[in-house]
Structure 1
Amino acid sequence: MGEKDGMTALEKRTLAGLSLIFAIRMFGLFIVLPVISLYARTLPGADPLWLGLALGGYGLSQAIFQVPFGMLSDRFGRKPVIVAGLLIFAGGSVMAATAHSVFGLFVGRLIQGTGAVASVVIALMADLTREEYRTRAMAGIGVSIGLSFAVGMVVGPIVGAAYGVSSLFWLTATLALLGIGIILFVVPSPKGAVHKNEMELSFSQLGYVLKNPALLRIDISVFSLHLFLTAVFVSFPVLLKQYIAPSAMWKVYLPVILGGMFLMVPAMIVAEKRKKLKTAFLIAVAFIVASFAIFLGGYKSETGLIAGLAVFFIGFNLLEPLMPSIMTRFVRTRTRGTSSGVFNMSQFMGAFLGGVLGGGLATVSNTALFSALLAISAVWFLIALGLTDPNLLETFERPVGEGLHDPQPVIRQMGEMSGVVDCRYRESDRILWVKYLRDRTTQEDLERKLSGLLEA
């Protein structure tokens, strides 16, 4: 079936089911973000550092268990491992709901993160969809995560104020069980044995991913962004409580998040159409830097707090789709899973260290916290300046006929050329496809190299 025929009914069912599972799981993490620091303060043993650990603890276990869960899914199958991960996530939610100390809450959050099935869900999606539709499927999962974040940030304060924050963890546990029903009865099962695919992390490709300057800058960026997100919410709800009751905080979060999302859509469209992705990326990072300058100067007032958060979420909502979009442009086909795995682990480690940093600095003072975040974000902006412009990427295609019996040597040598980002052979139409940076090589250079290899 060709590109024009669209996704099959099975692929659409797969996308809908797996997007729901992603959304349910991430909603369960996001829903407590705006309220957990307030709730944890009421538990025995609470101090700013423990608040930060409780807030970001899930990120540590998420980062540690991503790879083991992926390896287990190769041996025991995707669905059984996803079910096990969701059960662990539900168990951690129950422990957090029944915690009688901040340490118990921290352990519950660690257990929540231990059910690290994100990479397995992506691998299952790859098993059940054709290659030409995987980008679309990944975009669908990205949309579900964005919506779960927005809904969770608004629903959390409302439900938490009405029924207690522990009710949010009970809701999370219930949704995890719903996710098990979806994986068992909605998502199709792969036929035959599970095989490694390009959407999985491979240690053999890790060196390339970590040495690629563009990918490294994006990994640093997602690490930094989620470090900032967690660090901000260690102190922000506590500071805002001086002016607004927790039950009314949704009135702040709703317009701030929706405003950021509203601005994000036209900004992404303009960036894509006018080929200004790097410019949009740098502007978004600049918004993050500016938000910490506002926080630093105005965290002692209601206006300063809300203005800082509004500016932060303009940058955050623009960066969330920009970073994976830029990342996918610089990955090689065979390193998709590894690049995505490092990206996700960077995000989760950022969330954990943001909790540690935010809690530790808040113990000193909020001035120390926002001063440090301002300094770190400024360094991040300087690193981001060196990002290779993704709009320099172009493609080269050439039919190679039936004489090429083994394309691998040609793919390898073309891939080693300066400026070549990716190279693959499409067996269906016998075309060699190359993605390259036009400021480092040309179509003529590629044509000469390929002609020489075919004549050899």
Structure 2
Amino acid sequence: MNAIPATQRLLFTTITILYWTSMYVYVPTLSPYLSDRGFSLPFIGIVLGSYGLVQMFVRFPLGILSDRFGKRKPFILLGMLTAGISCLLFLIPGPWIWPLAGRLMAGVCASTWVAFTVLYASYFGSGQTGRAMGNISVMTVSGQMIGMLLSGWLTDGFSPNAPFTLGAIIAIIGLLLALMLKEPRANQREQPGMSFAMIKNVVRTKTLLQVSLLSILAHGVLFITMFGFTPLKAAEMGANGVKLTLLVFAFMLPHAFASLVTARWFTPRFGYWGTIGAGFFISAVCTAAMAFTGSMEMLVITQAINGFAQGLHMPLLLGLAIRDVEHAGRATAMGLYQALYAVGMFSGPFLAGWLNESWGLNSGFLFGSLLGAAAFILVLVWALSERKSVVKVDGEYAEEAGRS
């Protein structure tokens, strides 16, 4: 592994933050924005969910192509370009097709995240995947938080279109910077990239499949709450742009902190499954509590705790997705992982939108809580199964040692 210049790491960090800022600068005001334009809750759910729908079909092929050609930079450039196009589509006045097209294009943009994660992981040794994913999770949350904090201020101070305008400008700056990005020589392999015959072995990796299922449920919760209908609940309580900004800050800051310290503090003490299980349990409780929250203050508290809880399991799931996969297949594995969790990004808000239309906004939060509880149960089952396997192997080893 060749040493990566500090300037390139700083450049990558800057591009990554701009990437997420451009995509999330309008997220807190998106559902109120669509509601003010007269769109129904089911349609808002479709728009929110379309972001994940595209990723279900695009992320895995992008990962395969990235491994096949051994290149990450072209896909990063594509990500910045589509981020700008997405924001511009929202600015076109007229019927429902334009906001839907804008969110679909944002899904294409988010699909290129496969290349970002694998390129950054290549900056670290094979035993430092958890640390790498923790770092890049902080970049992700930082970019999302900057964008979402700007959203309410732009809407109140200028116009509802201002977040989309700034998002397009940020994306253009990120695209220009990405042109200067250089891939490590380790990525520019002389031998051919991953063959299609090897894909079968990657997709059968047990840990990859387990964490993908958990991530489907985790992203279902996330896109029902903070990235979905939580801002609309706050707006119904009379929250303006400033209060929406406070709500975002309450969620994203603990989320960023947890992402930063999970691999360093919690995993060594409680293990992977223990930390992930705690995150899902707390998240399920907080999401259910949102349905019974009647004040803005309590809503902020639930989001703060929920943000921290989701920061416990998100980076660990990301790291585990590629932990047991060889370097040549990591983009394929990451593409599959991200394509599968996009199912939650689509189905979560889509189903919640219909539930909200029939039984009120709080029914969607209760549904999100059930998703978190289901994930917690799966973690318990797999953790116990893994523990029994270890005990069995140790017992057989001890028996064999006694015979010898």
The residue aligned with 1:196 is 193
Structure 1 distance, partners of 2:351, 2:134, is 32
The corresponding residue for 1:306 is 300
| Counterpart residue number, 2:141 | 146
Q: CA separation in 1, counterparts of 2:300 and 2:52?
A: 26
Contact 1:81 1:117 in 2 (8 A): yes
Question: What is the deviation of 1:95?
Answer: 0.7
* 1:171 lines up with 2:166 in the alignment: yes
Q: TM-score, normalised by structure 1?
A: 0.74
Higher relative contact order (CA 8 A, sep 6+): 2
Select which of 9, 12, 20 maps to 1:26.
20
State the shift of 1:39 in Å.
Answer: 0.8
Larger helix proportion, structure 1 or 2? 2
User: Which residue of structure 1 lines up, in the alignment, with residue 204 of structure 2?
Assistant: 208
Partner of 2:348: 354
Q: Is the 8 A contact 1:278 1:389 kept in 2?
A: no
Q: What is the CA distance between 1:282 and its match in structure 2? A: 1.6
From 5, 10, 20, the equivalent of 1:16 is 10
- Structure number, greater radius of gyration: 1
Structure 1 residue 62 corresponds to structure 2 residue 62: no
Asked if 1:282 corresponds to 2:277, the answer is yes
Aligned to 1:109: 103
Tell me which protein shows more strand as a share of its residues.
1
User: Are positions 1:441 and 2:393 aligned together?
Assistant: yes
- Cα-to-partner distance string for 1:4-36 (whole Å, 9 max, x where unaligned): xxx6244x4443333333332222222222110
- Pair 1:41-2:35 in alignment: yes
Query: Structure 2 matches for 1:151-166, cutoff 5 A?
Result: 151-166=146-161
Name the CA shift for 1:383/1:127 in 2 (closer, same or farther; >3 Å): closer
Structure-1 separation of matches of 2:261 and 2:137: 17
Cα contact 2:223–2:349 (8 A) shared by 1: yes
> Are residue 220 (structure 1) and residue 213 (structure 2) matched?
yes
Report the count of equivalent residues.
Answer: 393
Q: How far apart are the structure 2 equivalents of 1:40 and 1:341?
A: 30
In the alignment, does 2:70 pair up with 1:118?
A: no
Query: Shift of residue 123 of structure 1?
Result: 4.8
Contact 2:55 2:338 (C-alpha < 8 Å) held by counterparts: no
Conserved in 1, the CA contact under 8 Å of 2:129 and 2:319? no
Q: Distance in 2 between matches of 1:81 and 1:263?
A: 29
Residue matched to 2:368: 373
Partner Cα distance (2:328, 2:118) in 1: 13
Deviation at 1:51, TM superposition (A): 1.3
CA distance 1:136–1:197, shift in 2 (3 Å):
farther
- Aligned in 2, Cα 1:289/1:131: closer, same or farther, shift over 3 Å? closer
Q: Which stretch of structure 1 is more off in the superposition, 81-90 or 227-236? A: 81-90
Q: Secondary structure at the match of 1:274?
A: helix
**8 A contact 2:62–2:335 mirrored in 1:** no
C-alpha deviation, 1:145, in angstroms: 1.0
- Kindly tell me: are residues 86 and 291 of structure 1, through their superposed partners in 2, closer, same or farther at Cα, counting changes over 3 Å? same
Query: SS at the partner of 1:170?
Result: helix
Which among 46, 49, 52 is matched to residue 45 of structure 2? 52
Long gaps (5+) in structure 1: 2-6, 393-418, 420-436, 449-456
CA distance 1:137–1:62, change in 2 (3 Å): same
The amino acid across from 1:387 in the alignment is W
Distance (Å, rounded) in 1 between the aligned partners of 2:117 and 2:85: 23
What are the superposed Cα offsets for residues 276-330 of structure 1, whole Å, 9 maximum, x if unpaired? 43222222111111113312222x4334433332332221122222322444555
* Structure 1 residues 254 and 184: CA distance shift in structure 2, 3 A: same
State the alpha-carbon separation in 1 of the partners of residues 251 and 122 from structure 2. 38
Deviation at 1:177, TM superposition (A): 1.9
Residues 52 and 231 of structure 1 are in contact (CA less than 8 Å); yes or no, is this contact kept in structure 2?
Answer: no
Unaligned runs of 5+ in 2: none
Q: CA deviation at 1:75?
A: 5.3
Matched AA of 2:245: W
Amino acid corresponding to residue 299 of structure 2 in structure 1:
L
Q: Give the direction of change, closer, same or farther, for the CA distance of 1:84–1:65 in structure 2 (3 Å limit).
A: same
